[in-house]
Structures are given as C-alpha cells and as structure tokens.
Amino acid sequence: MELRQLRYFVCVVEEGGFTRAAARLHLAQPGLSAQIRQLEKEVGQPLLDRSGRSVTLTEVGRAVLPHARAALAAADAVRQTVDAYTGLLRGRVTLGLVSGATGHAFDIAALLADFHDAHPSVEVALTEDTTERMQAALLAGELDIAVLGTAEEVPPPGAAFQMLIDVPLVAAVAPGDPLLDRVDRIDRVDRVDRVDRVDGASVPLADLRDRPLICLPRGTGVRAALERGCAQAGFRPRVTFEAAAPHVLVQLAARGLGVAVLPAGEEEPTLDGQLRTLRIVRPQMRARIALAWQATGPSSPAARALLDRLREALPKPPGP
C-alpha cells in the first residue's frame, strides 16, 4: 500500500468520480483506475461502488476513508516539520476573492507574484465567488483565506477579519434624474471622485423605495447591506439590474437606467460629468471588504505565511 494510492482514493471520493479526480491529479483516467484497483486488491475488499451513475463508497470504503485521510495528514505533518527546520515552504494554499472586490485599491496579482518569487514551491489556487459561498467554504476548511465583502463589522463565529475597505454606500444617478430634485441643498452637489468630500449632498434611503436600482448580485456584502438597510426603512429594494463589477453599475446608471447603489469611490473616472453621486442616509449603509481566515488560523505553514504577507501588505481603512 502506497501513500499515493491513498491520496488517489481520497481524491476520487472528494470529486465524486474518476474523471474529475484524474483532472485534478493531472493523471490519465485509466492509470488512476488501475491504482485504485491495486489498492483494493491489497486490502482485499472493494472500496468504491462503481455500479451507479456516480462513484460511491462501499461500507468498507466508508470505514477506511478516515484512516486514509489521517495517514495523508500524518505524512504532510512529517514534511512540514522537516521544512520548518530547513526553512522551505511548500504545499497548496486556496485563496478566495469576491468578484470586483479589489477595484483599484490593491493589486492581488502583484502580491501573489511576490509571494511566489519568495516561495516557489507553494502552489496558490485563486478562485472568485460570492461572499456567502466563500464564507461557508472558509468555515468548512475548503478555503484557507478569503477576500470578501461583508455587511458586518465583526466576523461570524469561527472566522477572523482584517478590514481592508470601509466606505459609505452611495446613490449614483445621471444628471436630470428626478432624485436630484428631492435632495436638500442641491446647489452644493458637484461631481466628485470621492463622495466623502461632498458636504450636504445626501438622500434618505426611503426616497429609493419605488426607484429601479442597480446593484451587485445577491451573496455580496454590498447587496446584503442594501437589503438590510431597506428592511430597516420598511421596504424591499426594487433591483432591476445586477452586475458583479462596480464599473458596469456606473455605466448603467450613467445611461439613465436606474439608481446605482455602490461603494463610495467606485465612480468611473471616464464618466466624468455623467453622474451625480449622493450619500445615502437614514440609515447610512457601509460597504466593507475584509481579509478573512479561520479564527484558529490556517492549518498549513504555507497558508500562514501567505496570510501574514497579505495582512502586512494589504491596505487598511483610515481610522475615524
């Protein structure tokens, strides 16, 4: 019995079949099948039931699986211990990134490239997904680290946050939009790149009750903040356009298709003069992006090293 056979067995179980497991392991499917058959021959019992449309565990396979995982974890621990003494980092780190999260605030690609230069034996797997799914994957141990949007100031139980971005949500509309007629002290509203510079240009959330809204999709922190704020104001938002990228929201609003609700500072510079931006108040809502990890910390030295690098390099929101 070889460790690689146990690794192949666990991979087939996790992927639910030989085809996906072979792709993940970068093996030919016939070779993978032959290795699993060899393992079953050595233990004297079938571990996988291949009779259905998907591969499932036999009763013996279910009993063997936790021991196979424990053996692989022990082997990894041996390698990590040796690496700690030699100063070598290797392994695989999974990093989740919410779509449209970075904008122009930080360059994840550059940070990962620097980390790879320093630790070439570490493989970093980067995926994009919604905040809800990434948060669940993080708590389940399927992700080591995530950059996600959140409507909360504090992390959920089992997770830790480092806040990267914390700005107000604003309403962006095309010039001449009826919403501008209802804004108090309208003569003080100008097109600016940062809404925080606007003095007195605000609109109550209740004024958006019957307006078509343009926002990020469900599962994002911004959308969660909008829906929570509207619930506090006593109505459900009428979202008619969704897009994962904030600049698309801006483009739609500039063409008069609705009111874009987005984080302050996400206005597209090339649309200068085509948008008016108003701070949303009563209640005020915040757009937050956080670096997240399990509260107990990443399990592998490689993941801990990448987390330390990200925590040091990524920006932090200014204090009050």
Interval 132-154: pLDDT, tens:
889 999 998 889 999 998 888 88
Beta-strand pair 259-263/213-215 = parallel
Could you tell me which residues are beta bridge partners of residue 125?
Answer: 94
Same domain, 167 and 115: yes
Give the total number of structural domains in the chain: 2
User: Within a domain: residue 74?
Assistant: yes
Interval 91-111: pLDDT, tens:
889 999 886 555 556 678 888
Same domain, 68 and 111: no
Identify the CATH number of the domain in which residue 277 sits: 3.40.190.290
Same domain, 125 and 9: no
User: Within a domain: residue 91?
Assistant: no
pTM of the model: 0.63
Domain finish residue from 86, 109, 129: 86
17 sits in the region (left: phi over 0; alpha: psi -120 to 50; else beta) called left
The closest of 166, 176, 246, 180 to 214, measured between CA atoms, is 246
pLDDT confidence of residue 214: 93
Q: Is the pLDDT reported for residue 68 higher than 70?
A: yes
Which helix (H) or strand (E) covers residue 77, if one does? Answer: helix 59-86
Neighbours of 23 (CB within 10 A): 12
Identify the CATH number of the domain in which residue 61 sits: 1.10.10.10
- Residue 26: domain span: 3-86
How far apart CA 23 and CA 170 sit, in angstroms, is: 45
Q: Which of 65-74, 133-142, 195-204, 310-319 has the lowest mean pLDDT?
A: 195-204
User: What single letter denotes the amino acid at residue 140?
Assistant: A
Same domain, 116 and 215: yes
Residues 6+ apart with CB under 8 A from 231: none
Same domain, 250 and 102: yes
The closest of 5, 9, 17, 14 to 52, measured between CA atoms, is 17
Interval 34-44: pLDDT, tens:
999 999 999 99
Task: Find the mean pLDDT for residues 270-281.
Answer: 75
The structure tokens listed for 309 are 């690098």
